[in-house]
Structure 1
Amino acid sequence: MSDEHTETGTGWPQPAGPARPGGPAGEPDPRPDAPDPDELSPLAPQGRPEPGDDESPVERDEHVERDESAAGAGSAGAGGSLGRLSSAAVMIGVLLVLLGFTLAVQLKTTSTDSSLAAARQEDLVRILYDLEAREMRLRQDITTLEESQRQLRSGEQGRQAALEEATRRADELGILAGTLPARGPGLAVRFQAGPSKAISASGVLDAVQELRGAGAEAMQISGGDRASVRIVASTFFLDGENGSLIVDGRRLTGPFTITVIGDPSTMRTALNIPGGVVASVARDGGNVIVEDREAAEVSALHVPSTLEHARPVS
């Protein structure tokens, strides 16, 4: 029996076990219920046992495959969610762009005219008044033409009505062309220049345009020497020397008077709109005197030019 057998008191050697560290730090806890120091080691796992502790190699392989399958399924699900999310975001962005483009086109097509939006209140009033006067004249023309149509369809009376209608139309065209004199209710518009600025050709032209827009049917302009010029569609105005005007090549001296046939109240209103002819001349120091005439006479005639190329169609 060896010394080891004698020291243990059993006579038999102790079974071999895990070696414990020696020294003070390696002394075993003398308490009988003390936990194993290996179980309290910070390196020992506290949860699920690591593969290999109590599992066979086949079971370890099955655990590894299940873990990899679960990880792959999780990553695939996350990738699918991200893919679906990105596709939905792209689709929403495209729809928003299309909606914005449609709204922009709609606003552009329904926007008002830029020239009218930037016009002054006086200009808008004048435009509105001109449109109303033009509508009234067109309605009157429609009524007259409908009456003429009914008369022309009534046999013998229709032929007589056709002759009368042709004569009336010829007289109207002669008045409009300035080849026939005219007489009727209207206005006499007299321009007086201020002390510092003469009446300009553009101011007289503005007055002519306002009167035409208000329904003027015949006009003539006279100078201080009583010389008169018929105003037709082709009449032009130029500034002359010493405050004079050149009208269709003829020189007129001031003061100037426009005699016009038409509805007096309508034409007077057109001349006196805010920012109109009367206001413009007054701003330059001049004055415009408007007088009603029960029987205004437009006697000046316009000599028609000789046609060189145009021929009437029979």
Structure 2
Amino acid sequence: MSGPEGPGAPAGGASRGPAAPRSPWRRLWHAGRPRATRGQLLAGLLCAALGFGVVAQVRQNDAAGLGELRQSDLVRILDDTGERGDRLAEEVRQLEATREELTAGSDSAEAAARAARRRAEEYGLLAGTVPATGPGVVATVDDPAGAVRAASFVSLVQELRDAGAEAVQIGPVRVVASTAFEDPGAGRGPGVLVDGTALAPPYEVRAIADPATLSTALDIPGGVRESLRQLGAQLSVSTPERVEVTALHAVSSPQYARPASPGPAAGGG
């Protein structure tokens, strides 16, 4: 007969004793292992759905600006962009021709004088110190409700400038880079102050540039015409054969600014 089995000897077919204890590192890994619960899975799915919705909405908003326009409106915007590019290319060609004229030939002094005269005339037109004439548009803003404010004229002038307007006049006032538009203040009735001159409706705006480009710029969907219509005002645009801009801007002498004389190079001893 065999003797009784010892306490540590495994018996055939008998149940095993308790498993050997795990190492501390193994217990720590099991304790720190993430356990996904049903609530966490649901929260993750909701976050993913929300992110997808936000991305889709942003893309839809980005495409809505042009996607909702009619084909004729898109054609006008494309033509306007192309004409602006053509104007810039023509300006580059003129500047290159002037440079070649100044650097080539024996009569460079006379060429420089002609270029200076042309440049002085251009600066006079931009500064509003000389009258201007040429093709363009005459826009009339009829404001029976007196709701048009200075901000509308800022947008109107900016749209004309973006379309290439080289000379602009509102009523009897020449519009230049420093022209200020202000509301007249409470109790003073409808109107707008342009460089301190009080103007009342209807307002006449004269601008010289390519008439088709200017008209297109004023008719861009959601632009100046639409914003004026929302205020109860009406914008009418005509394209006469010649537009006269006769108002002049009085240039005041600078009080503080002086021409800077060239100094020594930076870092020189």
TM-score (norm 2): 0.67
Q: Residues 170-222 of structure 1, C-alpha deviation per residue, up to 9 Å, x if partnerless?
A: 2111111111211111111111123x345433322221111111111111111
Report the CA distance shift for 1:128/1:205 in structure 2 as closer, same or farther (over 3 A): farther
Identity %: 38
- The aligned counterpart of 1:253 is 200
| The 10-residue stretch of structure 1 (297-306 or 124-133) with the greater mean CA deviation from structure 2 | 124-133
Q: How far apart are 1:73 and its partner, in Å?
A: 9.8
Question: Displacement of 1:280 after TM fit?
Answer: 2.6
Q: 1: CA distance between counterparts of 2:78 and 2:18? A: 77
**Matching of residue 214 in structure 1 with residue 158 in structure 2:** no
Say if 1:87 and 1:282 are closer, same or farther in 2 by CA, change over 3 A: closer
Aligned equivalents of 2:111, 2:32: Cα separation in 1? 79
Cα distance in 1, alignment partners of residues 111 and 246 from structure 2: 29
Q: Secondary structure at the match of 1:265?
A: helix
Report the RMSD for the aligned CA atoms in angstroms: 4.4
**Could you report, residue by residue, the CA deviation over 1:203-251 in whole angstroms, capped at 9, with x for unpaired residues?**
22221111111111111111xxxxx111011112223333232210112
Shift of 1:117: 8.0
Name stretches of at least 5 consecutive residues in structure 1 with no aligned partner.
1-53, 65-69, 90-103, 223-227
| Corresponding residue of 1:229 | 173
| Contact preservation (8 Å) 2:168, 2:206 | yes
The 5-angstrom pairing of residues 293-304 of structure 1 reads 293-304=240-251
Change in CA separation of 1:87 and 1:281 when aligned onto 2, cut-off 3 Å: closer
Unaligned 5+ runs, structure 2? 11-15, 35-50, 262-269
Shift of residue 290 of structure 1? 0.7
The question of 1:306 aligning with 2:250 is answered no
- Report the structure number with the largest CA radius of gyration: 1
C-alpha change, 1:71 and 1:60, in structure 2 (3 Å) is: closer
Correspondence 1:157-306 to 2 at 5 A: 157-194=107-144, 196-222=145-171, 228-240=172-184, 241-306=188-253
Q: How many residues were matched structurally?
A: 233
Highest relative contact order (Cα 8 Å, sep 6+), 1 or 2? 2
Q: Which residue of 1 aligns with 2:95?
A: 145
Question: Are residues 255 and 87 of structure 1, via their aligned partners in 2, closer, same or farther at CA, if it must alter by over 3 Å?
Answer: closer
